[in-house]
Amino acid sequence: MKSKKIIIIYVLVFIAILILGVMAIKYAKDKKNGELVENEYIPEQEITDEQFRQTIVSLYFINQETGKVEPEARRVDIKDIINIPYDKILDLLLEGPKNDKLKAVIPNGTKVNKTYTEKDNLVIDFSAEILNFDKEQKDKLIKSIVNTMTELTEINSVKIVVDGNEVDEFNQIYIREK
């Protein structure tokens, strides 16, 4: 009878060691494969519908240190640009940069009268204040507008008119420079 008890104890100890061994091997294998999740990540805040509708647009301004035209990323609600994207993006460009190292090149007081497309060309009708630009900055003014608007996939070129009329200062269709 005592020998049966000893055999049962040995069998139970053997089974316990076997189970622990299998669990240790599984744990090591899961850890090696990166499948082991020690703590589940719980976000501090859920993404709101408003945050979900956000997109980033690039607006081009002049870097005050280098003098080059550089992009500034701006987060915009899709609802604001879905119907009239050109007007909204130009309004953001006219507002100027948020970054202190950048400066706007479009003259103060300039307004967008209207925008419309002709195939892949965007025609922008500005108010007469656009003509108050610094003559040395003309190329940067054009580059700022063209680079900003050609960020949109459907726009490949830009034509600038003033109060509905073509003017000598902007007498061509501008494409993005590489």
Domain encompassing residue 16: 1-42
Q: Which tokens in the block code for residue 145?
A: 């507008």
32 and 101 both lie in a single domain: no
Percent of the chain exceeding pLDDT 70 equals 87
Could you give the strand order of the β-sheet that contains 112-118, starting from the edge strand earlier in sequence? 112-118, 121-126, 157-162, 173-175
121 and 57 both lie in a single domain: yes
pLDDT for 39-84, tens place per residue? 566 666 665 666 567 888 999 999 999 999 999 999 888 887 887 8
17 and 96 both lie in a single domain: no
12 and 89 both lie in a single domain: no
pTM over 0.85: no
72 and 122 both lie in a single domain: yes
Structurally, how many domains does the chain consist of? 2
Q: What values do phi and psi take at 56, rounded to 5? A: -110, 130
Q: Over range 130-154, report the average pLDDT.
A: 92
Residue 117's nearest CA partner among 77, 71, 156, 70 is 156
Residue 62's nearest CA partner among 105, 100, 96 is 105
* Cβ atoms 61, 96 nearer than 8 A: yes
53 and 35 both lie in a single domain: no
1 and 75 both lie in a single domain: no
Contacts of 131 (CB under 8 A, 6+ apart): 107, 162, 167, 169
